[in-house]
Amino acid sequence: MGVKESLSKPFAKKIVKKTKKWASQPAETQQKVFRKLMKKLAKTKFGKDHNITNGESYSSFQQKVPVRDYEGLRSYFERIADGEKNVCWPGK
């Protein structure tokens, strides 16, 4: 058994175990991902304009952020094109 093989097997087992865990709990996994996304979004100009908080719920997010087309979001895209940071996503 080579060095790569001996190191890759435990790593692969760890990844498989982690993947099975989140795949077996789709609703909980989705909520966890949503909370992480809201935490990041709350720090952006878009998030602040829409009063997004760190602990935002999905139903509250739906009420605060209406569905819009390109024209409805154009001002944010123009700010990004002008080089402004943290407009729609941290660092972007």
In tens, the pLDDT along 57-84 reads: 999 999 999 999 999 999 999 999 999 9
Letter for the amino acid at 58? Y
Q: Which two tokens stand for residue 4?
A: 């790569």
Q: Which residues contact 42 (CB under 8 A, 6 or more apart)?
A: 48, 52, 53, 54, 56
Does residue 15 or residue 46 have the better pLDDT?
46
User: What average pLDDT does range 14-24 have in this prediction?
Assistant: 86
Contacts 24+ apart (CB under 8 A), 52-60: 58/34
Assign 5 a pLDDT band (cuts: 50, 70, 90).
confident
pLDDT, the chain, mean: 91
Assign 8 a pLDDT band (cuts: 50, 70, 90).
confident
